[in-house]
Amino acid sequence: MEPSKEFPYKADKQNATRSFGKIADLLIVFAAINIIPRLSTFLTNLIYPYIGHLDRDQVFLWITVHHIFQLLLTLVAMKLYFQTSYKEWGFNLKNLNLSLKISLYFFIFFIIFQGLPIIVGLVTGRFIQPDIAYPLTGANMAGHLSFQGLLSGTCEEPLFRGFAIVILSQSWTGRIKIGRIDISAANIIAAVFFSYAHIGFTIFPFALTRLYLPQIVVSFLLGIIYGIVFEKTKSLLGPILLHNMSNLVSISSGYITYMLIS
């Protein structure tokens, strides 16, 4: 790995001193990506009994409330950690045109990527069975698509790109080049943590509740892309748009496939 020429942000003197060294910074981020989602789960479970009737099939409301709590707790963690403007964490419109341009190209690519299996299915009559475990009512589809298209990336990227990469970049300054692609060590670590977040498990007793290898691999690769865009634009707008788009297109393609084979 080569030394990094610059952080995702040109950290000012006050922010740069918030690094506690490689191991400590790594542990801080790891703790955040474990504690914040679990605390969000706890808070959501407290209020869900009072609002759960609004989503009878439990498709979208729980995860919507959970992610809103996750975003709020991430904002609190950012303020406690750096005591600085949220702009320094990526809440800005820097390089707006570049973010929108990348998002458009990504959207087109992802539609083609998700559409190819549907086209192959139409030609061969063999479709990949989508994993949908709830009734496809209008309310369920609208609620789930609204969450994925508006909140999934909006509430996850501040934690996994903004918080993680900004902190890790202070001490994990190496970079690796794969062809023309330049990837920071901080981005790679954040992508690993992002993949890890897609593994479900219980602690007491320890047991794996969700482990789907293709999802882990795709999450890592998408995490790298989101991180590159974040570092390139110095803004969370691009990663949020890409994340929301990828989830929205993926869920929509699943719905389309399900309807075609039903």
pLDDT of residue 77: 96
Kind and range of the H or E element at 196?
A: helix 185-196
Chain Cα centroid distance, residue 241: 10
Predicted TM-score (pTM) of the model is 0.91
Torsion-angle region of residue 95: left (phi > 0), alpha (psi -120 to 50) or beta?
left
> Alpha-carbon dihedral of residues 190, 10, 90, 72, nearest 10 degrees?
70
Q: What are the tens digits of pLDDT across the range 167-220?
A: 999 999 999 988 888 999 999 999 999 999 988 777 767 777 777 888 899 999
Domain range for 236 is: 2-9+17-261
Structurally, how many domains does the chain consist of? 1
Q: What is the reported pLDDT for 8?
A: 52
Write the burial class of residue 171 (CB in 10 Å: 0-12 exposed, 13-18 middle, 19+ buried): middle
What is the percent of the chain where pLDDT is above 90? 77
Alpha helices in 89-175 (DSSP H): 96-124, 138-147, 153-157, 164-168
